[in-house]
Amino acid sequence: MRINTKYLTTKDSDLREAAEIIKAGGLVAFPTETVYGLGGDAMNAQSSVKIYKAKGRPSDNPLIVHISEVEDVCRVAGIFPENARKLAEAIWPGPMTMVLPKRPEVPDETTGGLDTVALRCPASDVARKLIEYADTPLAAPSANISGRPSPTRWEHVRSDLDGNIDAVIMGEPCIGGIESTVIDMTLPDSPQILRPGLITPARIGEVLGIACGYDSALEGIPDLQMRPKSPGMKYRHYTPRAEMRLYRGEPEKLRESMSEDARSLRAQGKQVGTIVYEDGRQAAQNLFKDLRQMDDEGMDVILASALDDSEEINYSVMNRMLKAAGYVVKEI
């Protein structure tokens, strides 16, 4: 059944209206500094069920729970270890999600049946006001149809979810552009990154004074047989409709090879788009928007230059580019 999706502004009275929708068990898409989220009351099982349904998301892929201040961790997590508190105080509000043991009041529908919960306090003022007005933590995955690139503009949310959710807050474009770093803090002395993002292992190491590494599930190609600690990592996300090919190698040769391939594809009558980024932050900010734009323009093939992933932010962006390209890389 289609519903009439409301488009709300970021003014206070609209945010209060959005909060009422959430309290009544409805779904509202809202901006964060990373990507737009599809929010519902995290403590209401039925709201979480609705989120999975609206996105077409597998129900074993748990949702991130958003809070508006550090102290609210205790409303959702059973334990708040010292190291987790240190990270929260240093980095929140910001693009970091921590996995902690959950309180029994958090419904299984929100955590995909896990006994842990992923928590984050977003940097966006609009997001934090909405959480505060709703007076409940918000479960919010990225506000896209499952498998599509995450939305970094409210228009992306409209194109995926119009008619399926109660409201969209028309906020600013997201400045981060890729989803938050997810860190497993269930063993607080051995933090581990389950999903790379703009908060890097170096930054976490600096705050805690201990080494922080990546989960081994991040190496290699995901498949549905995997049982990674972060269930989301076994799925192939971010697929544009166009076929995407990644090129890696010495910059000059790489550009030559890309334009040669573009010429020959065009000679075959194909629409070809190209993506070349200067640095990791610019790439993070633009990747999902560019993939969606090329789909809208009807591109058949996207040729993209890989980033040197020895640098940590580049590594986070490459995690998404590899998924988008189905792990096919042409070495030059």
Q: Is 212 left (phi over 0), alpha (psi -120 to 50) or beta?
A: beta
Q: Which is nearer to Mg ion, 19 or 165 (CB)?
A: 165
Q: How many residues bind ligand TXA (CB under 6 A)?
A: 30
- Shortest CA distance to 60 belongs to which of 228, 196, 179? 228
Residue 197 near residue 64, CB atoms below 8 Å: no
CB neighbourhood size of 328 (10 A): 10
Q: Which is nearer to ligand TXA, 27 or 182 (CB)?
A: 182
- The correct pick among 5, 116, 142, 314 for binding Mg ion (CB under 5 A) is 142
Q: Is 283 left (phi over 0), alpha (psi -120 to 50) or beta?
A: alpha
What does DSSP assign to residue 77? B
Q: Which stretch binds ligand TXA (CB under 6 A): 11-19, 57-65, 158-166, 304-312?
A: 57-65
Would you give the binding string for ligand TXA spanning residues 102-121, x where CB under 6 A is met?
---------x--x-xxx-x-
Q: Which is nearer to Mg ion, 102 or 323 (CB)?
A: 323
Our finding on whether 229 is near ligand TXA (CB under 6 A) is yes
Dihedral, 158, 160, 163, 168 alpha carbons, nearest 10 = -40
Q: Which is nearer to ligand TXA, 34 or 314 (CB)?
A: 34
- The correct pick among 59, 61, 257, 271 for binding ligand TXA (CB under 6 A) is 61
- Residues 212 and 202: their CA atoms lie apart, in Å, by 7
Would you give the binding string for ligand TXA spanning residues 181-210, x where CB under 6 A is met?
-x-----------xx---------------
Shortest separation between residue 275's beta carbon and ligand TXA, angstroms: 22
Would you give the binding string for Mg ion spanning residues 86-125, x where CB under 5 A is met?
----------------------------------------
Our finding on whether 140 is near ligand TXA (CB under 6 A) is yes
Q: Which amino acid is at 78?
A: G
What does DSSP assign to residue 300? S
Our finding on whether 64 is near ligand TXA (CB under 6 A) is yes
Our finding on whether 48 is near ligand TXA (CB under 6 A) is no
Residue 154 near residue 163, CB atoms below 8 Å: no
Our finding on whether 34 is near Mg ion (CB under 5 A) is no
DSSP-H helix ranges across 200-304: 201-208, 251-267, 280-296
Our finding on whether 319 is near ligand TXA (CB under 6 A) is no
> b or e along 117-126 (b: 16 or more beta carbons within 10 Å of the residue's beta carbon)?
bbbbbbbbeb
- Residues 161 and 153: their CA atoms lie apart, in Å, by 13
Our finding on whether 299 is near ligand TXA (CB under 6 A) is no
- Shortest CA distance to 150 belongs to which of 176, 126, 128? 176
Q: Which stretch binds ligand TXA (CB under 6 A): 28-36, 156-164, 204-212, 320-328?
A: 28-36
- Residues 181 and 194: their CA atoms lie apart, in Å, by 8
Q: Which stretch binds ligand TXA (CB under 6 A): 11-19, 213-221, 227-235, 252-260?
A: 227-235
List contacts with Mg ion (CB under 5 A). 142
List contacts with ligand TXA (CB under 6 A). 32, 34-35, 37, 61-64, 97, 99, 111, 114, 116-118, 120, 122, 140-142, 179-180, 182, 194-195, 229-233
